[in-house]
Amino acid sequence: MRIDIVTIFPGYFDTLELSLLGKAKDRGLLDVRVHDLRGFAHDRHRTVDDTPTGGGAGMVMKPEPWGAALDAILLSAQEAEPGVFDAEPDNGSQAPLIIFPSPAGEVFSQSMARELAAERHLVFGCGRYEGIDQRVVDEYSAGGRVRLISLGDYVLNGGEVATLAMIEAIGRLLPGVVGNPESLVEESHEDGLLEYPSFTKPATWRGRDVPPVLLSGNHAAIAAWRQQQRIDRTRAVRPELLPPED
């Protein structure tokens, strides 16, 4: 998968060199390209923000540098794979999907991560200040391949942390990124329930024992215990995830 990121803080993405995603990059499973938005601002001060039209607090990201950055990325995608822009957006187009992290977007989830992991090319546009001039979103939405996605119902200072979280959730679903694909199947949110609690050795630590069933060697009993733990945990912490009872 190719991922382009546009940001005024490229350094945030140095962490993508670490751990499983770093290895995935080294192995060519992930092609991540980070672009400094200021490189697309052509005045002497490389200005990317201006005062809000109509008044109000804060600053808004100017449309011109965003237009230049996104056009350059889309052009390079088209040059690399001329066929990908051919189909209509709702007809299997694999043109890049542009994601603007935004607290005003649809809320990110594990099922959305799975959906996005099927894309060939994601472009993340990281907002700052009061956000990006709306005309940028409208301009690229005209092609139909834009989504506004929120990490949750709270406000961050910028889209970088949200982008990192999404890339990690999406990247670990790509074939070959996580060594044992079975470990992905049983996780929290994969089938609507939270995961059961995990234990390792020693069997007793500070007077706390591992649940005896896990030492029994009885696989059916272990599976039943884990499933009940998932239901109990979900009911206690996230009851809204459980199917409605008749």
Nearer to ligand SAM, 8 or 16 (CB): 8
Q: Is 131 in the site for ligand SAM (CB under 6 A)?
A: yes
Least distance to ligand SAM, CB of residue 69, Å: 15
Nearer to ligand SAM, 104 or 185 (CB): 104
Q: Is 157 in the site for ligand SAM (CB under 6 A)?
A: yes
Q: Is 57 in the site for ligand SAM (CB under 6 A)?
A: no
Q: Is 156 in the site for ligand SAM (CB under 6 A)?
A: yes
Q: Judged by CB under 6 A, how many residues of this single chain contact ligand SAM?
A: 19
Interface with ligand SAM by CB under 6 A: which range of 11-19, 25-33, 125-133, 167-175? 125-133
Q: Is 65 in the site for ligand SAM (CB under 6 A)?
A: no
> What's the CA gap between 56 and 170, in Å, rounded?
36
Site for ligand SAM in 84-113 (CB under 6 A): 101-104
Out of 123, 159, 170, 194, point to the residue binding ligand SAM (CB under 6 A): 159
Binding site for ligand SAM (CB under 6 A): 101-104, 126-128, 130-131, 150-152, 154-159, 162
